[in-house]
């Protein structure tokens, strides 16, 4: 009920902030956030069309921040060389590989794949591709990506009769999913570290 209480008090501004931050930091797939937006659009607190465009604005904000971050880094120097690469460093390298292989076409499919949707906008910012071209291609595909998951959440939300119970169960499910994702990354990092020691 916490999420609904915030939205009920602060409206669409709180929805935008929650989604914009969540696309970066929430330990759940971005698709879950978009479907949650569709679910919330079936409540009395939000209208479907404004909710959709608020979500789209948060997606564009996410992509713009990544592009600008890459552009700023490219002006300073190349990506810093570290002994231990962070997950963002790895994503940037993956995005660079895709960009070299597919060019701007990488932005047209990047939103449909986890992690790549973070890596490609950053790598495009590192390149000499203009923001206008990135926005035209990337945000067009993001519109399709958002529409699909929003409609899935919206359709499912219309079948819910007891919202209090649903939200409570959803919070538990997201918390469990988040813990599983964190556990997966922890195990993956530990295995990589052990392989490094073996060599």
Q: What is the pTM of this model?
A: 0.72
Asked if 98 contacts 106 with a C-beta cutoff of 8 angstroms, the reply is yes
Q: H or E stretch including 111? A: none
pLDDT digits (tens, 9 = 90+) for 110-121: 888 877 888 888
Asked whether the CA dihedral 156, 157, 161, 165 is positive or negative, the reply is: positive
- On whether the CB atoms of residues 119 and 91 are closer than 8 A, the answer is yes
Q: What is the mean pLDDT of the chain?
A: 79
What is the percent of the chain where pLDDT is above 90? Answer: 22
Asked whether the predicted pLDDT for residue 133 surpasses 50, the reply is yes
């Amino acid at each position: 009920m916490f999420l609904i209480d915030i939205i009920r008090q602060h409206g669409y501004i709180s929805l935008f902030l929650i989604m914009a931050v969540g696309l970066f930091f929430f330990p759940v797939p971005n698709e879950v956030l978009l479907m949650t937006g569709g679910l919330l659009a079936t409540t009395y607190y939000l209208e479907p069309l404004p909710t959709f465009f608020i979500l789209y604005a948060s997606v564009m904000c996410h992509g713009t921040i990544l592009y600008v971050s890459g552009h700023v880094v490219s002006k300073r120097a190349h990506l810093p060389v570290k002994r231990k690469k962070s997950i963002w460093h790895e994503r940037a390298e993956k995005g660079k590989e895709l960009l070299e292989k597919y060019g701007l076409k990488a932005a047209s499919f990047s939103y449909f794949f986890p992690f790549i949707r973070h890596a490609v906008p950053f790598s495009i910012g590192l390149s000499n591709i203009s923001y206008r071209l990135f926005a035209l291609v990337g945000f067009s595909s993001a519109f399709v990506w958002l529409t699909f998951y929003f409609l899935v959440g919206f359709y499912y939300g219309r079948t819910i009769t007891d919202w209090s119970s649903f939200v409570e169960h959803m919070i538990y499910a997201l918390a469990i999913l988040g813990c599983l994702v964190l556990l997966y990354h922890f195990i993956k990092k530990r295995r990589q570290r052990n392989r490094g020691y073996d060599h």
